[in-house]
Amino acid sequence: MSAERVLHSVTCLGCGCGCDDLTVRVRGGRIAGLAPPCPLAQRWFGDGTVPQAISIAGRPATLGHAIEAAVSVLRTANRPMVIIAPDLTTEAQRTAIAVADVLRAEADGATSDSAAAGILAAQRRGRAAATLGEIRNRADVVLFWAVDPTARYPRYLERYAAAASATHADRRALLAVSVGEDRGPAGAEIEADFAPDEEVDALAVMLATVRGRPLGEVAPPFQRAVALAERLLRGRYVAIVHDAEEAGPAGGDGQRTESLVALAQALNGPTRAALSSLRAGGNRSGAEAALTWQTGYPMRVSFRDGSPRSRPGRSGLDRLSAGGADAVLIAGSAGALADLGPVPGRVPSVVVGPGASRVSGAGVAIDTGVAGIHEAGTGYRMDDVPLPLTAVVEGVRTAVETLSLLLGALRVPPRGSDG
């Protein structure tokens, strides 16, 4: 049995907080303990073991044969698609994008539906954002809009929005809005509760109050909205926190996100404000960053014409489900794609990533390790700050190496071609 290794300052991608202060003990090739004891981090790291199978049509195969079979599936397609699923390093994401380029495929991330509202609103209006460190040290008023970060982002409060010490804020006021069943944190200085069909109006009342527009008589459900806006205006630095992964009743068409972007913008005049968008883990934001720097677009990109073009409208996963591709490469944790359903059984599929061999119907499946557990590289925090990832458990095939092999094989001209 190998000796115990203790790794310090390990980055966790269990959620978008990207905490980089973990200590992980590894014994005998397994994770034996981690601190601090975040419950979500413990679930995400597990004991560090992952499947390490390779298969073609459900039968065991060598890596070389699987790469050949993957090339054959993807190269013969007329409308291939590449989906960048979670749990890849940004280096692996970049390689998956290069594969899409070689194939003249469409490429999309896993969360373009939930992230699209915020990205598009920011393009229309601009966006007042901040790093989590800035929020920790400067925010003296924090408004939680229909989210209590405790369950999905366990250390967000302790590390950032409600951290015990701040360099530029003596005390911090927490305000909480609940919308239907999306509850804000309990014990806030002001708590407001809106029905789902009141949300957009409440945000409009707050925006008007911040802009100093005369409101006349305000109906009782929205008097709390006025009180909230007035409290925000008394802040020196306001942080508005919402869950970008949970669109919510008003968010289905992006209205919640659009209104919160507008509110944060309007507050930057009478005071200072930033919108903090909570994002899930697995380096989801990294896919948008890599797509942006490689293609100019954060999501829904088509290489079909030989150069990257935006492909507005439905997400790649939606289009895939609706028959919009005749072969797909899923790079990353396919199991984390809620909308994948039976697609791999219907469309010729190559799956490269953690748990690939568990994807039912995958034509070619190559298991790899998880970014930040078995693969070192770069991962992005929810505020788009890049962080170094550690290979905590070594000796597991990595996604970046596997995707690089696939990319290299695709770049070799097929036999009999002139190229």
213 Cβ neighbours under 8 A, 6+ residues apart: none
Closest-by-Cβ residue to ligand SF4 is: 14
196 vs 335, beta carbon nearer ligand SF4: 335
Q: How far is the CB of 185 from ligand SF4 (least distance, A)?
A: 15
44 vs 297, beta carbon nearer ligand SF4: 44
23 vs 76, beta carbon nearer ligand SF4: 23
Q: How far is the CB of 191 from ligand SF4 (least distance, A)?
A: 24
Closest Cα to residue 324, out of 117, 108, 116?
A: 108
**Separation of first and last alpha carbons in the chain:** 52
40 vs 226, beta carbon nearer ligand SF4: 40
Q: How far is the CB of 14 from ligand SF4 (least distance, A)?
A: 3
CB atoms within 10 A of CB 416: 5
136 vs 155, beta carbon nearer ligand SF4: 155
Q: How far is the CB of 140 from ligand SF4 (least distance, A)?
A: 23
Q: Answer yes or no: are the C-beta atoms of 49 and 30 closer than 8 Å.
A: yes
Peptide bond into 196 cis (omega under 30): no
Whose tokens are 């007042």? That residue is: 128
CB atoms within 10 A of CB 384: 15
Q: How far is the CB of 214 from ligand SF4 (least distance, A)?
A: 43
44 vs 237, beta carbon nearer ligand SF4: 44
Spatial distance between the Cα atoms of 49 and 117, rounded to a whole number of angstroms: 36
Type of residue numbered 333: S
Q: How far is the CB of 276 from ligand SF4 (least distance, A)?
A: 14
Give the distance, in angstroms, between the CA of residue 289 and the centroid of all CA atoms in the same chain: 11
Q: Which residues pair with 273 in a beta bridge?
A: 238
14 vs 353, beta carbon nearer ligand SF4: 14
15 vs 266, beta carbon nearer ligand SF4: 15
Q: How far is the CB of 283 from ligand SF4 (least distance, A)?
A: 11
57 vs 151, beta carbon nearer ligand SF4: 151
Whose tokens are 């008023």? That residue is: 141
Whose tokens are 């097929």? That residue is: 414
Q: How far is the CB of 11 from ligand SF4 (least distance, A)?
A: 8
CB atoms within 10 A of CB 226: 16
Q: How far is the CB of 263 from ligand SF4 (least distance, A)?
A: 26
CA distances from 251 to 196, 254, 361 (A): 10, 4, 33
Q: Answer yes or no: are the C-beta atoms of 338 and 73 closer than 8 Å.
A: no
User: In a 3-state reduction of DSSP, which class is residue 42?
Assistant: helix
Peptide bond into 36 cis (omega under 30): yes
Closest Cα to residue 332, out of 281, 261, 394?
A: 281
Binding site for ligand SF4 (CB under 6 A): 12, 14-15, 17-19, 38, 40-41, 44, 153-155
